[in-house]
Structures are given as C-alpha cells and as structure tokens.
Amino acid sequence: MAGTGFRVNQVIGRLVPVLLLIYVGFAYHLVIYEHAYKHQFLTHNLWLYPLVHVFATHLVFLPALFAYLSIFLAYGVDVDSQGETREARPSPVSPLRRLIGARLPRPTFEPPPDIVRGHVLYECDAEGNPLRCWRDDCQGRWKPPRTRHCGDCRTCRAGLDHHCPWFDADVCAPTTMTLFLGFLALVPILCLLAFAPLLPTVWSHTTSIWRWANESEALRASWWSRKKSWIGGPMYRWIIGFYLAARSYPAEVEAESSKSIYFSSPNARPALLVLLAAGLSSVTIGLLFFTLLNLAKGELTIDTQRRKSYRKAMVSGDAAAAARLAPTRHFWIPLGDESDGGVVVSTLPEEQSYDLGSFWENMKAFLGWPPYSRDVLLTNWPIAKGVKERMLKEAQARSRKNN
Ligand SMILES: [Zn+2]
Ligand SMILES: [Zn+2]
C-alpha cells in the first residue's frame, strides 16, 4: 500500500469530529441553557443548585475539550540533530495548532553517527542496517524503535499507537497518549455529571411517550400495524415509533410547567441525547480498557493489530505478508572495542523486547514519565532487561566462536 487512493479512515476522520461537534452543541444547549438556566433558574427560581451543576460540569468539560483539541490539532515537527524542531507541514491553521495542538516529533532523516558506525546497540533489520521507511515521501527515512508509518497521515510517527478516526489524528506514545487516556476517562464522568440532574425528567417523559406510543389509535393505524414499520428491523420500528409518538404527543397534557419546552411536555430530544451519551461513554470506557490492557503488556495498539494480521497471514499461507509482519525483531550488538564491529541477534518467538515487566514500568515509558525522557524515547526505546542480557550473552558466545 503506497498510501494513495481511497482510505475509509480518511472519510470517517472527516465526518466524526463534525458529528461530535454537533452533538456537543446540542447537549450543551440542553444541559446549560434549557435545563440549568430556563428550567431551574427561570422557572423554579433556583440558583445555587444550577450554578454548582454548571460549574462542576465545566470543570470536567473544559479539560476534556482541551484534551480533544490537543489531539485533533496535533501537528508533526521534524527534529534535527541539534534537537531543534521545525513544523513539518505548515498550513493556514498552523497558528491555531501551535496554540493548542500537541507536537508529534519525527527524528532526523539519518540515524545518529553512533548508530551508523555500529558503536551502540540498536534495533536493525536482519542484515544489521538501521530500519528505514520507504512509504509515501519518507524515501528511506530512518525508523527508530517503535516508529511506524501512518498511512492516513502519510508520514512516520514516533511511538505510533493508532490513527484515531475520533480525532482524525494519530495517538502516539508518549506525546499524545496521556491526553488520549485522559480524554477517554473524562468522557463517562462528564456524561454522568452533565445529564444526572436531567435523568428523572427524561425518564418520566420517555415512559409517557412510550405509553402514548402504545395507546394512540392514530399511531397504531399509521405505524405499528403497517408492514413498512418492519423494513429496518425491530430497532428501527421502535425508534421511529417512539419518534412519531413524541411528535404526536397531545400538547394539552403538560407534565410540568416550565419555561423550557424540553421540560414541560414530553420531548424526544433529551432522551436521544442521553442515549447517545450512554453510547459514547460505553465506547470510551471500552477503548480505555483495551488501551490500558495493551499498554500493561508493553504493547501499542499497532503491535496487537500486526500480530493479528501476522496470524491471519500464517493461516492463509501468505508468505510475503507473514515475512513483513513477523514479530521477530533484530538488534545490532556492538562487540568489545569500537573497532571490533558487532553481530545481529534476533529475538526469540516468546520474547517481548519492549515489555518492561510490570504495568507501572510500561506505563511510565508510554507516558514519558521519569526515569524515561521524551527526547530519549524518540530515538531509543528501553529494551526489556532479560531480553537485552540474553542477546548480549548470545553475541559474546558467537564472537568467541568466530575468534
Ligand atoms: Zn495518522
Ligand atoms: Zn514513513
């Protein structure tokens, strides 16, 4: 795949952030303006309760929004050998990106001299050469450990976890991983906090509408008894039935007097927004759980995906794909003096060269927390102690045999 042509991720990536924005707009309007202001303050003369609710909601909403925008507006920077950075692809939105977007660094085109001369231990190809990327405009660019090429962004990314259609951007460790996990954890809290005070009303309105949906003779004739109501399956039948019932709900039956139309007579919109909030929360909880599960094992999402593809290739007998996706890593091990050269040692099938042994140790590396530094992780990912020792021993044994 050269990264040209149609990519589903790119279409979803353009669409999802817009849909999310529309959803947030509707939800914000309902919770803050309609409920807190019009219903609680104007109708019921309450001020402390809605004020605390609005404040608490923003306390979670603003950090979540910041995390989202930081990832959404993340931009690539090229790091030169002096550690200076330069924006990789300046665009008209660059000032906004620089203001709030996270920086996704890409190391130098050529590896550092120590690696070129083979003086240090580094991940290499089977022949001992530094790993390089030939896709899109990378054209032979050096690939430090855990750097992967994103086909959607058409560039190499250090610590790429996955290209996320929810943000239309890359989630990378350690640069945007903290923001990503933070966002996933904040969304369910935000949904619960924002919608909790509305739930009793939404529930009673929903049951009222549902009762009306079943009682209304007109609706029975125009929807429930018609064959066309089954066209999209039972879910479709219920949702449309509910929607039609909400629309035809008798206006004279007011459950409660309110200055907000959403809280006086039963209305479908709050129920729909709460339902979507529940769906969003489930998705983020699931994503958080599976991401943490991967990170705990010292793996990024892309590693897991590649292993799955590798197994598939093995089963289907696709030798070329299997060779490309094989989880074996190779390391250049320098021997003795700088002039002695070195050998290439490969990992064993059961060896996870980047699993640091415990959940916290792996997390610290993935989040760039001490003792790991973001600058070092960019070109040099820590190798599991046991694996490194085993490889060093093998290298020494092989050099003794040769001498
Ligand atoms: Zn990407
Ligand atoms: Zn690349």
Q: Name the closest ligand to CA 168.
A: 1
Of the pLDDT bands very low, low, confident and very high (cuts 50, 70, 90), residue 282 is: very high
134 CB-contact burial (10 Å; exposed 0-12 / middle 13-18 / buried 19+): exposed
Considering the chain, what is the average pLDDT of its residues? 90
Residue 160 C-alpha to ligand 1 middle, in angstroms? 8
The whole-number pLDDT of residue 6 equals: 67
Q: What mean pLDDT do residues 8-35 have?
A: 91
Is residue 193 within 8 Å of residue 57, measured between CB atoms?
Answer: yes
259 pLDDT higher than 50:
yes
Nearest to 273 by CA among 15, 58, 31: 31
What's the pLDDT band for 350 if we cut at 50, 70, 90? confident
Phi-psi region of 146 (alpha: psi -120 to 50; beta: other; left: phi over 0): left
Per domain, the residue ranges of the chain are 8-69+187-288
Q: Measured between alpha carbons, how far is 254 from 256 in angstroms, rounded to an integer? A: 5
Q: Which ligand is nearest to the CA of 13?
A: 1
| Cβ neighbours of 290 (radius 10 Å) | 12
Q: Give the count of alpha carbons within 13 A of 32, CB side only.
A: 12
Residue 3 predicted with pLDDT over 50: no
Sort 307 into a burial class: Cβ within 10 Å, 0-12 / 13-18 / 19+.
middle
CA distances (Å), 391 to each of 11, 144, 199, 383, 394, in order? 44, 19, 59, 11, 5
Give the number of the ligand closest to the Cα of residue 142.
Answer: 2
pLDDT tens, residue by residue, 68-98: 999 999 999 998 888 788 888 888 989 999 9
User: HSE-up of 191 (CA within 13 Å, CB side)?
Assistant: 20
- Measured in Å, residue 342 CA sits from the centre of ligand 2 at 27
User: How far away, in angstroms, is 102 Cα from ligand 1 center?
Assistant: 14
Helices (H), 29-120: 48-72, 94-100, 113-116
